[in-house]
A and B are shown apart, each in its own frame.
Chain A
Amino acid sequence: MDENKIVSTNQSIREIQEFEENKEQKVLFSYLGAFDEEHLIIISNYIEFAQTVKRTTQRTNLFKIFVEMSQNISQNSTLKKEIGGRNTGCGKITIIEFDSYFKMISCNPATDNDVQTIKERSIQMNSLNKEELRGLKRARIREKTNKAGNGNIGLIKIAIISENKIEVKTERGNNNKNYVTISVKINK
Chain B
Amino acid sequence: MENLIKVQKNEGFFKYPNVNFDATSGDCELSGESFMEDSKIYYTEIISWLHEFHETEKSKTLTFNIKLSYFNTSSSKMLYELLKVLQDFSDDGQDVVINWHYDSSDSELEDDIADLCFDVSIDVNQIPE
Contact B77 A41 (CB under 8 A): no
**Which stretch from B1-9, B45-53, B85-93, B111-119 is at the chain A interface?**
B111-119
Question: Given the complex, which residues of A lie within 8 Å of B12, measured CB to CB?
Answer: 37, 41
Query: Beta-carbon contacts of A34-60 to B below 8 Å, as 1s and 0s?
Result: 000100110010000000000000000
Q: Does A134 contact B (CB under 8 A)?
A: yes
Question: Given the complex, which residues of B lie within 8 Å of A71, measured CB to CB?
Answer: 35, 37, 72, 74
Q: Does A150 contact B (CB under 8 A)?
A: yes
Q: In the complex the two chains form, what is the Cα distance from A37 to B74 in whole Å?
A: 16
Contact A37 B77 (CB under 8 A): no
Q: Does A97 contact B (CB under 8 A)?
A: no
Contact B115 A150 (CB under 8 A): no
* Tally of chain A residues near chain B (CB < 8 A): 24
Contact A149 B38 (CB under 8 A): yes
Question: Given the complex, which residues of B lie within 8 Å of A148, measured CB to CB?
Answer: 38, 40
**Which stretch from A9-17, A19-27, A136-144 is at the chain B interface?**
A136-144
Q: In the complex the two chains form, what is the Cα distance from A153 to B12 in whole Å?
A: 24
A123-143 residues at the B interface, CB under 8 angstroms = 134, 137-138, 141-142
Contact B76 A141 (CB under 8 A): yes
Number of A-B contacts (CB under 8 A): 58
Question: Given the complex, which residues of A lie within 8 Å of B119, measured CB to CB?
Answer: 138, 142
A61-95 residues at the B interface, CB under 8 angstroms = 64, 67-68, 71, 74
Q: Does A161 contact B (CB under 8 A)?
A: yes
Residue of A nearest to B76 (CB): A141
Question: Given the complex, which residues of B lie within 8 Å of A44, measured CB to CB?
Answer: 13
Residue of B nearest to A86 (CB): B37
Q: A41-B12, A44-B13, A74-B37 are known contacts. Are A141 and B80 too (CB-CB below 8 A)?
A: yes
Query: Beta-carbon contacts of B1-42 to A below 8 Å, as 1s and 0s?
Result: 000000000001110000000000000000000010111100
The 9 closest A-B pairs by CB, nearest first: A40-B13, A153-B73, A150-B74, A150-B73, A41-B13, A154-B73, A157-B73, A138-B115, A37-B13
**What is B's interface to A at a CB cutoff of 8 Å?**
12-14, 35, 37-40, 70, 72-74, 76-77, 80, 108, 111, 115-116, 118-119
**What is A's interface to B at a CB cutoff of 8 Å?**
37, 40-41, 44, 64, 67-68, 71, 74, 134, 137-138, 141-142, 148-151, 153-154, 156-157, 160-161
